[in-house]
Amino acid sequence: MSSRRSRSRQSGSNSRISDDQINDLVSKLHQLLPEIRNAHSDKVSAAKVLQETCNYIRSLHREVDDLSERLSELLATTDNAQAAIIRSLLMQ
Amino acid sequence: MNKYNPPRMNPSSLRSRFATRFLRSLSKINAKKPTASSSSPTEIFRRYRRIKVAADKSMAYSVRSRRTWSRAMLWKLRTRPCCRRSVKTSTIVRKTRHEKQNKNTTTTTGEDGVVFGVEADELRELVPGGEAMDLYNLLDETAHYIKCLTTQVQVMKKIADFYSP
C-alpha cells in the first residue's frame, strides 16, 4: 500500500492532472452507464465504473454488429431503397 | 442528386450528420448489390461487412478530427487490410500495436491512490487510439466515444425498424 502511495505522489508531481480531475471524469462516465447510473456514486468504486464502461462498450459494439447484419438481410429484400431511405430519414 | 433535407432534425447535431452519411453509404451499398444473388449467404455476409465499415466510417467522419478516437478509427479503417490478405501489413500493424501497449502498461493511479491499471488497459483496447492515451485523455475520449456509439446504435435501430416488415 505504501509503495502505491509513493508512486501516486510521484506521478502527481510529474503531471498537472490531479486526482480530482480524474474523479470528475470517472463520475461523468458513471452517468453514462445504464447499469449503475442510478447507484450512488460514492458507493461505486472507480475501478468498478471502468469495468462497467468496458462491458457497456462491448455491448454497444455487439449491437452495431447485430444491426449491421440485420440491415444486410433487410437490404436483400428491399427494392426501392432510395425512396425508402429518404422517407425513413424524414420520419426521424 | 438527391438532397437530404430533413425538416425536424438539427443539421448540426452529430446524430443527423451520422444519419445522413450512413444512409448515403447504405444506398450506395444497396445500389451495388447483384440482383440475382442478393440474398445468398455469401452476399449477405459481404454486405454486412460493408455496412459495418460504413457505420464506423460515417461515425468517425461526423466527429471529424476533433477527437483522438475518431482520428485513430479513420486511420485504422484506411490502413485496414482489405487487405486482410496481405500478411505483411497486418503483422506490421500488430507489432507496432504491441509495442505501444508495452510502453503504456504503467499502473495508473486515481482516487485515493487506487490503482486501476487492469481496467484502464482493458479500456485502452476498446477505445480506438486508446493505446497511446494517458489516463485523463482516455477517460475523456471514452465518454465521448460512448455517446457516439449510443447515437450510432439508435440511428441504425431506427433504420432497421423502418425496413422491417
Which pLDDT belongs to residue A84? 59
SS3 call for B107:
coil
Interchain contact, B143 vs A32, CB within 8 Å = yes
SS3 call for B109:
strand
Interface test with A, best of B2, B3, B5, B159 (most A CBs within 10 A): B159
The H or E element that residue B67 is part of is: none
Which pLDDT belongs to residue A79? 60
Residue written as grid cell 471529424: B64
Indicate whether B130 pLDDT > 90: yes
Which pLDDT belongs to residue A56? 96
Residues of B in contact with A44 (CB under 8 A): none
- Give the nearest chain A residue to B40 (CA atoms): A76
Confidence of residue B103 (pLDDT cuts 50, 70, 90): very low
* Number of Cβ within a 10 Å radius of residue A76: 16
In a domain, B131, yes or no: no
Interchain contact, B136 vs A90, CB within 8 Å = no
Which pLDDT belongs to residue A44? 79
Q: What residues make up the domain containing B154? A: 14-105+146-163
Which amino acid makes up residue A11? Answer: S
A91: exposed, middle or buried (Cβ count in 10 Å: 0-12, 13-18, 19+): exposed
- The residue count of chain B comes to 165
Indicate whether B53 pLDDT > 90: yes
Q: How much is the mean pLDDT over chain A?
A: 75
In a domain, B90, yes or no: yes
- Interval A68-81 mean pLDDT: 80
Q: What digits encode the pLDDT tens for the residues B55-101?
A: 999 999 999 888 999 999 999 998 877 655 444 444 444 444 444 44
Confidence of residue B51 (pLDDT cuts 50, 70, 90): very high
- Give the nearest chain A residue to B17 (CA atoms): A89
Which pLDDT belongs to residue B82? 67
The larger pLDDT score, comparing residue A11 to residue B47, is at B47
User: Could you report how far apart the first and last alpha carbons of chain B are, in Å?
Assistant: 28
Which amino acid makes up residue B119? Answer: E
- Interval B115-140 mean pLDDT: 89
Least confident stretch, A8-12, A22-26, B9-13, B143-147: A8-12
Which pLDDT belongs to residue B105? 44
B16: exposed, middle or buried (Cβ count in 10 Å: 0-12, 13-18, 19+): buried
Which pLDDT belongs to residue B155? 93
In a domain, B110, yes or no: no
Q: What residues make up the domain containing A61? A: 2-90
Q: Using alpha carbons, select from B95, B120, B94 the residue that is nearest to residue B106.
A: B120
In a domain, B151, yes or no: yes
Q: Using alpha carbons, select from B34, B143, B138 the residue that is nearest to residue A76.
A: B34
Q: How many domains does chain A have?
A: 1
ipTM over 0.85: no
Interface test with A, best of B46, B109, B141 (most A CBs within 10 A): B109
Indicate whether B106 pLDDT > 80: no
Q: How many domains does chain B have?
A: 1
Percent of chain B with pLDDT over 90: 41
Dihedral Cα B5, B6, B7, B11, nearest 10 deg: -80
Apex A56 CA angle, B12 and A22, nearest 5? 80
SS3 call for A32:
helix
Which pLDDT belongs to residue B81? 72
Q: How much is the mean pLDDT over chain B?
A: 78
